[in-house]
């Protein structure tokens, strides 16, 4: 890292601090030549690949605004939404990929949203998983009911590989 004052390549780290709950590291450096100090930040890269093929940095705010619509009229607070967006980011980062398709972001929202509010989840899922018919909703509701029974509480990401163009029954 080149010193912004004298352009020397030689600097040493005098302090390192995590920020944003450990997602980034901020380093205080001291130039070995001019002794001036400067700060660098380090964050791991997470890009979203849009359907158009364009990429953009992952933004929690986009998750929140996407989910907020589905939560209209539901008892979901802004704090809930912020936490959900963080869970989604944590999940995606845990995958270890530098780039994730936009579709995967939507899918990563499903499990925590279901925990938060089942009605909002159904609304959101109906868009992201292309529910076409009443049966799609019925199947999903049946699934919610079944999983609502006191079994395990680990939310499993529902298989979503079904091609959109293939009508017909899905395994329950
Ligand atoms: Zn310097």
For residue range 17-66, what is the model confidence (pLDDT) as tens digits? Answer: 988 777 788 999 999 999 999 999 988 789 999 889 999 989 999 999 98
Average per-residue pLDDT in the chain?
84
- Whose structure tokens read 């979203």? 48
Contact of 56 with 50, CB cutoff 8 Å: yes
Cα of 104 from ligand 1 centre, angstroms: 44
All residues at 6 or more sequence positions from 4 whose CB lies less than 8 Å from its CB, including other chains: 38
Whether the predicted pLDDT of 168 surpasses 60: no
Q: Bigger pLDDT: 126 or 74?
A: 74
Whether the predicted pLDDT of 79 surpasses 80: yes
Of 147, 36, 46, 40, nearest to 91 by C-alpha is 46
Residue percentage of the chain with pLDDT more than 70: 85
Q: Helices in the chain by DSSP H: which ranges?
A: 60-70, 78-94, 102-116, 118-128, 134-148
Provide the residues around ligand 1 (an ion) whose CB is within 5 A: 3, 5-6, 8, 31, 33-34
Cα of 33 from ligand 1 centre, angstroms: 5
Going by the DSSP 8-state scheme, the letter that residue 11 receives in this structure is: E
pLDDT at 152: 45
Cα of 12 from ligand 1 centre, angstroms: 11
Whether the predicted pLDDT of 160 surpasses 60: no
pLDDT band of 141, cuts 50, 70, 90: confident
Q: What is the largest CA-CA distance in the chain?
A: 71
Cβ burial, residue 14 (10 Å; 0-12/13-18/19+): exposed
């Amino acid at each position: 890292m080149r010193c912004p004052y004298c352009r020397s390549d030689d600097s040493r780290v005098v302090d390192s601090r995590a920020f944003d709950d450990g997602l980034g590291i901020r380093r205080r450096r001291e130039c070995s030549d001019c002794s001036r100090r400067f700060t660098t930040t380090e964050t791991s890269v997470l890009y979203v690949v849009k359907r158009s093929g364009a990429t953009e940095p992952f933004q929690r705010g986009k998750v929140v605004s996407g989910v907020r619509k589905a939560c209209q009229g539901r008892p979901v607070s802004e704090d809930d939404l912020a936490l959900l967006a963080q869970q989604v980011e944590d999940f995606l980062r845990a995958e270890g990929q530098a780039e994730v398709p936009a579709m995967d972001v939507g899918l990563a929202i499903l499990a925590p949203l279901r925990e938060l509010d089942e009605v909002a989840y159904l609304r959101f899922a109906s868009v992201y998983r292309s529910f076409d018919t009443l049966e799609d909703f019925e199947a999903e509701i049946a699934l919610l009911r079944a999983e609502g029974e006191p079994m395990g509480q680990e939310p499993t990401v529902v298989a979503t590989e079904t091609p959109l163009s293939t009508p017909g029954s899905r395994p329950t």
